[in-house]
A and B are shown apart, each in its own frame.
Chain A
C-alpha cells in the first residue's frame, strides 16, 4: 500500500475522512481487541487465584483435550453444529427472501402491514417459550402434528418425533424458521424498496409477468444484500445455537443434538474450566474467519459485493 506513489497525496486529500475514522479505530481497539488478551487463557491452566497474567502455561493441551476427550466426541459435536448451522443458513435465507418478496407483491396495504407485524412477533419470544411451543406441537400424545397427520390418514400410530435422531436437525431448523423468518425478511423488504420502480414499469410494458419480474428485477436488485448477508452468515455456521438444542434435546438424540456451545457448557464453563471454553472459542473464531475469507474471496472473484 505504501509503495503506491500516490498514497501520500491521497492521504492528504482524504484527511477529513481519516480524521473521522480515528475515533472509530480507537473505539474498536478498546472494546473489541483489548479483551482478546483473554485468549492467553486457552494456552494456560487458568486459575482465578493467579489470574490471566500468572497462570501456568500448558501449550496446546487444551486444544488437544477438545479433540480427544470422550473418544473424540468433539468431532461429532462439530458435525452437528455445522449441519444445523447450514440448515439455518440455507433455509433461513431462502424463506426470508421468499417471504419478503411475497409480502412486497401483496396488493392490500393494510393486510400487508398486519401480516408483516404478526410475522415478526415470534422473534420476541424467549427460547424457553419457543421450545415449549415446539414441544407441544411435536408431542407424541395429543401433539398437534400427530393429530393432524392422523386425521388426514398419513400415519397409523403416533410418532415420537423428538426421539428420532434423524428428525432432530430439521426440527431445530424449522423452529428457527418459525421464530426468525419474519424478522429476517425485514432487511430484504428494506432492500426491495431501493429497487427502481421504473424497471418494473418497463418490464410490464414489455409484457413480463409477475414471476418473470420477480426473477429478472427483484432478485437481481436484492443480490448485493443477499450476498453480503450470506457471507456474514457463513461465518456464523458454528454458532448454530445453544438454547434450542439444549432444551429440545434428550438422551435419545444426544448424538445429533449437542452443539459446540453445549459441549463448552458441559465441560468448560459449567465445570469451572475456563481455559477449555476459551480454546473452543478460538477454534470457532478461526474457522469463522477462514469461512468468511473464502466466501468473500469467491464473491470478489465473481465481481459481487464483498465485505472488505
Chain B
C-alpha cells in the first residue's frame, strides 16, 4: 500500500515539474531576445566547427583512395566511389563482430548500470557505517592499476581468456559512474526515503520504487557512458580473445585497420618485410569509422528525451 502511495507522490511531482517548465518562458523581455540571439549564434558556430571535419570525413569515405592521397578534399567527394564501404562491409568477420558488439553492449550496459546504481544507493545512505571505507575502496580504483601483465594473469586464472565474460565482468562496477549516480541521489530530498522507511519499506523497495524512477536522467547518462564504453572498447578483445574468431568485436576489426598507421616503435627493417602491412588508405579508415560508429550514435537521440524533460522533483540542496 505504502509503495503505491509513494509512486503516486513521485508522479505528481514529476507532472508539476513538467507544467512549470512549459510556463517558464512565457514572458520575454528585450534582454531575453538579446540573450537568445547571441546564444543561437554561438551554438551554430560551435556546431559548424564540429560538423565540418565530420563532413570532411564522410566525404573522404566516399572518395577514391589513391585520389584522396592528393589531399584537398572538403565536404564533397572528388572522385565518388562506394568501394571503401563495400570493402569494409565485405569483411567476412563483420556479422560476427557486429553480433558480439551488440551483445556485449546490451548485456554489459544493463548489468553494469543496474549493479552500479545499487552500489551508489548503498553509498548514498547517509548513516551507513561502512560508507566511507567502501567509497574509498572504490574511489581508489580509478587511480591505481596493477598494470597490463598482472591484470592479464588474474583474468587468466579466473578463466576469462577466450571467453565472453571478459567483456562484461571487469567493467561491471564503475567507480566513476557510481560517483555520478551517488551525487545525484544525494541531491534527492532525504524525506522521500525517510517517509518510506516509516511506512515500512525496505531498502530494495526504496531503491526500486523511489530512487530508480527519480534518477532516470542520470541513469540515462550513466547507461550512455557504459554503452559507449562497451561499444568503443577493443583492447580487451585484442588482449584476451585475440585468436577466438567468434568473439571479435567491431571496434577490434576497425582497430586492425587503424593500427597499420600508428604502429609505435616499428623500424624500417621489419616494415620492409611486412608485405601485408601496407597502410590502409585514409578513405577506408574513414568508411570503417563511419560504419562502426553509426549504430552507437543512433542510441543518443533515443536517450535524449530523458534530458530534455527530466522526470524529477528536483531538489537543490543548499
Contact = CB atoms under 8 A, between A and B. Distances in A.
Interface of A: 1, 7, 10-11, 14, 16-18, 20-21, 24-25, 27-28, 30-32, 34-39, 41, 52, 99, 102-103, 105-107, 109, 112-113, 115-126, 128-129, 132-133, 136-137, 142, 178, 182, 186-187, 189-201, 204, 209-211, 217, 220-221, 224-225, 228, 232, 235-236, 243, 246-247, 265-266, 269-271, 274, 277-278, 281, 284-285, 288-289, 292, 305, 307-308
Interface string B107-140: 0000000000011001001011111101111111
Contacts of A136: 56
B264 A246 contact: yes
> For B25, B44, B46, which residue has the most chain A Cβ atoms within 10 angstroms?
B46
Contacts of A236: 143
B146 A307 contact: no
B146 A37 contact: yes
Given A38-B146, A102-B39, A137-B53, 20 more contacts: A14-B129, A35-B151, A38-B153, A41-B149, A52-B149, A115-B43, A116-B307, A125-B293, A129-B57, A129-B285, A178-B49, A186-B221, A186-B224, A190-B306, A198-B314, A200-B20, A204-B24, A228-B180, A265-B265, A284-B143
Contacts of A217: 316
Contacts of B315: 194, 196
B17 interface: yes
Contacts of B304: 113, 116-117
Interface of B: 17, 20-21, 23-25, 27, 29, 31-32, 35-36, 39-40, 42-44, 46-47, 49-51, 53-54, 56-57, 72, 118-119, 122, 125, 127-132, 134-151, 153-154, 158, 169-170, 172-173, 176, 179-180, 183-184, 186-187, 202-203, 217-218, 220-221, 224, 228, 232, 254-255, 258, 261-262, 264-265, 282, 285-286, 289, 293, 296-297, 300-301, 304, 306-310, 312-318
B47 A270 contact: no
A153 B24 CA distance: 45
B145 A194 contact: no
- The binding surface of chain A is classed by DSSP as helix
Smallest CB-CB A-B distances: 9 pairs: A193-B310, A38-B150, A35-B146, A196-B314, A308-B135, A38-B146, A288-B143, A124-B293, A197-B20
5 contacts: A16-B203, A36-B146, A112-B308, A221-B316, A243-B262
Contacts of B134: 21, 24-25
Contacts of B139: 292, 307-308
Contacts of A21: 122, 130, 134
B218 A190 contact: yes
A122 B314 CA distance: 31
Given A36-B144, A123-B228, A210 B289 contact: no
A52 to B, nearest CB: 7
B35 A285 contact: no
A307 B53 contact: no
B20 A37 contact: no
B54 A121 contact: yes
Nearest to A287: B143
A288 B128 CA distance: 27
Contacts of A178: 49-50
Contacts of B138: 24, 28
A162 to B, nearest CB: 16
A281 B147 contact: yes
Nearest to A124: B293
Most buried by A among B24, B49, B184: B184
Given A7-B129, A129-B289, A197 B314 contact: yes
A10 B57 CA distance: 59
Contacts of B20: 197-198, 200-201
